[in-house]
């Protein structure tokens, strides 16, 4: 009997992944990852963020344990707090300092869930590892999930091909409704549990208050890039991303101005009027740290952020970097975010947007 170690998060997807694997005849072992120190996870007003006196992370563990007992599989627990800090959280802070918009969940998959986790699973004698991600693997290729609305291949784009060799995605052929129905059938405590949202170490709490503990605020001017007039004050460039409209606090301009750029040297946040302002658009970007899961191609589609529709692109290889061209112009392509490549259903891999260009020149305001 083949042994599978399942990453149990305390959510419905990983719960059902374990059930499906057990139904398929595998010996299933659960492994819960603790990636963040729960004593830090508070609202920074002195009060832990709790539900019934249990922090959310501990509640997730208790839910995973209840599911494991219900379906009669063992559950182990492992701490990756130091590793998460070193490889994910430090990266997150460093990118923010550069004025970029990082995606820590992608780095968590790369370094923790499909690296450190694999090593722990091997200690338990795993033939395979599995998670509740909505994705599929077929003939060694990473494919989108059947449920396009939940597809998570974007977040898996930095996982190495080697690390995906013995990975199973049991819920990748199901939609969310079907997953919940299976959980209800087995009367699992996670069947109706709300999906987690937000960055894992911030969750749904106030991001500004959270970051104040790690990066000092540096207030500066908000400038209308079309008129070069100061129209407000920002609370720190790290709190804004390209294309952002809400939360700018610029009086009568509210909800009509969009963030189009940042000048770190002058500590200026640039905004422009209207959602179709030319400053929001680019026609190419340079992508670095590219991880290839499939063959290199010259034409494919790409996503520049999660849930974005596919965009037709052409690729030009410049050393280890890729110049991604989209002459149709695309809105709010953002340094620091992931650019993920697709060929039909297959995820070819992806990299990190290093710079954004228009008419063969790097945009000065980005």
**CATH number of the CATH domain containing 225:** 2.30.30.280
Neighbours of 319 (CB within 10 A): 6
Q: Give the torsion through C-alpha atoms of 249, 250, 255, 259, to 10 deg.
A: -90
Quick one: 159 and 30 in the same domain? yes
Average pLDDT over residues 300-325: 97
Q: Is residue 193 part of a domain?
A: no
Domain span holding position 84: 3-185
Q: Is the pTM of this model over 0.75?
A: yes
Quick one: 260 and 285 in the same domain? no
Beta strands in 37-147 (DSSP E): 75-79, 128-130, 135-138, 141-144
Question: What pLDDT is stored for residue 47 in this prediction?
Answer: 41
- Determine the Cα angle at 256 with ends 255 and 257, to 5°: 100
Question: What pLDDT is stored for residue 38 in this prediction?
Answer: 60
Longest CA–CA separation in the chain, Å: 69
Quick one: 269 and 295 in the same domain? no
Quick one: 143 and 228 in the same domain? no
Indicate the helix (H) or strand (E) that contains 193.
none
Quick one: 114 and 172 in the same domain? yes
Quick one: 149 and 175 in the same domain? yes
Tokens of 20: 């499906």
Quick one: 305 and 161 in the same domain? no
pLDDT at 49 over 70: no
Q: Is residue 301 part of a domain?
A: yes
Residues forming the active site: 108, 200
3-class SS of residue 258: strand
Neighbours of 173 (CB within 10 A): 14
Percent of the chain beyond pLDDT 70? Answer: 92
Q: Is residue 207 part of a domain?
A: no
Q: Is residue 191 part of a domain?
A: no
What's 355's domain CATH number?
Answer: 2.40.30.10
252-260: long-range contacts, CB 8 A cutoff, minimum separation 24: 257/224, 257/231, 260/225, 260/365
Q: Is residue 197 part of a domain?
A: no
Q: Which of 231, 256, 273 is the last residue of a domain?
A: 273
Nearest to 190 by CA among 7, 16, 5, 18: 16
Question: What pLDDT is stored for residue 366 in this prediction?
Answer: 85
Q: Is residue 327 part of a domain?
A: yes
Alpha-carbon distance of 2 to 95, in angstroms, equals 41
Q: Is residue 256 part of a domain?
A: yes
Give residue-wise pLDDT tens across range 67-94: 999 999 999 999 999 999 999 999 999 9
pLDDT at 329 over 90: yes
Q: Which residue has the higher pLDDT, 227 or 58?
A: 227
Q: How many independent structural domains does the chain possess?
A: 3
CA 268 centroid distance within chain: 27
**Residue 163: burial class (beta carbons within 10 Å; 0-12, 13-18, 19+):** middle
Quick one: 37 and 84 in the same domain? yes
């Amino acid at each position: 009997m083949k042994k599978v170690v399942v990453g149990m998060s305390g959510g419905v997807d990983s719960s059902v992944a374990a059930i499906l694997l057990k139904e398929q005849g595998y010996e299933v072992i659960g492994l819960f990852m603790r990636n963040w120190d729960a004593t830090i996870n508070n609202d920074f007003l002195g009060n832990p963020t709790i539900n019934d006196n249990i922090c959310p992370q501990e509640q997730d563990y208790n839910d995973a344990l209840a599911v494991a007992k219900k379906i009669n599989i063992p559950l182990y627990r492992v701490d990756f707090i130091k590793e998460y800090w070193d490889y994910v959280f430090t990266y997150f802070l460093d990118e923010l300092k550069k004025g970029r918009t990082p995606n820590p969940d992608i780095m968590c998959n790369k370094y923790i869930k499909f690296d450190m986790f694999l090593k722990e699973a091997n200690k338990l004698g795993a033939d395979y590892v599995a998670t509740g991600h909505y994705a599929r693997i077929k003939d060694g290729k990473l494919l989108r999930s059947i449920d396009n609305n939940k597809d998570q291949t974007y977040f898996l784009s930095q996982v190495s091909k080697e690390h995906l060799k013995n990975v199973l995605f049991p819920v990748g052929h199901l939609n969310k409704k079907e997953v919940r129905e299976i959980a209800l059938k087995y009367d699992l405590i996670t069947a109706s549990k709300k999906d987690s949202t937000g960055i894992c170490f911030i969750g749904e709490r106030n991001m500004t208050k959270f970051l104040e503990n790690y990066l000092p605020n540096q207030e500066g001017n908000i400038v209308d890039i079309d008129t070069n007039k100061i129209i407000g004050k920002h609370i720190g460039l790290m709190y804004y991303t390209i294309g952002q409209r809400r939360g700018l606090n610029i009086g009568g301009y509210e909800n009509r101005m969009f963030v189009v750029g940042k000048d770190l040297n002058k500590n200026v946040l640039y905004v422009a009027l209207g959602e179709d302002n030319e400053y929001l658009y680019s026609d190419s970007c340079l992508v670095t740290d590219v991880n290839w899961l499939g063959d290199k191609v010259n034409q494919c589609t790409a996503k520049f952020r999660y849930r974005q529709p596919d965009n037709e692109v052409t690729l030009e290889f410049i050393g280890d970097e890729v110049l991604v061209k989209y002459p149709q112009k695309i809105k709010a392509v953002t340094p620091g975010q992931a650019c993920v490549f697709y060929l039909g259903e297959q995820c070819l891999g992806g990299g990190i947007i290093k710079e954004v260009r228009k008419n063969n020149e790097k945009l000065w305001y980005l």
